[in-house]
Amino acid sequence: TAPSSGVVVQVREKKGPLRAAIPYMPFPVAVICLFLNTFVPGLGTFVSAFTVLCGARTDLPDRHMCCVFWLNIAAALIQILTAIVMVGWIMSIFWGMDMVILASKYA
């Protein structure tokens, strides 16, 4: 009998710049942003952009704080402008869910 040899496979999610710019916020703030994004697409993302200016950490440590702030503003504008065709609304809800998931990892 031959000894069994296994291969270790590691899967790591690669995030784009907009997705990596989502800030790690305190859990209550993330829930409020999810609530805002659910009823007014892009509003919670817009609010979360200001948490970056308050020192919230993101997955873009090599980028300047202002650059990450503007990436979040751009994501909010995309959500607002495409909400008419429901794409932005769905994106906004998923964005809010990602905020809550990151906040639960942060805590």
Residue/partner pairs of 53-59 with CB below 8 Å, 24 or more apart: 56/23, 56/24, 56/25, 57/23, 57/24, 57/106, 58/20, 58/21, 58/22, 58/23, 58/24, 59/15, 59/20, 59/21, 59/22
- pLDDT above 70 (res 2): no
- Give the residues across from 24 on adjacent strands: 57
Its pTM stands at 0.83
Q: What is the mean pLDDT of residues 7-34?
A: 89
- The predicted pLDDT at position 1 comes to 57
Q: Which residues of 23-40 are buried (b: 16+ CB within 10 A; e: fewer)?
A: bbbeeebbbbbbebbeee
Average pLDDT along the chain: 90
| Banded pLDDT at 107 (limits 50, 70, 90) | low
| Residue 17 confidence (pLDDT) | 87
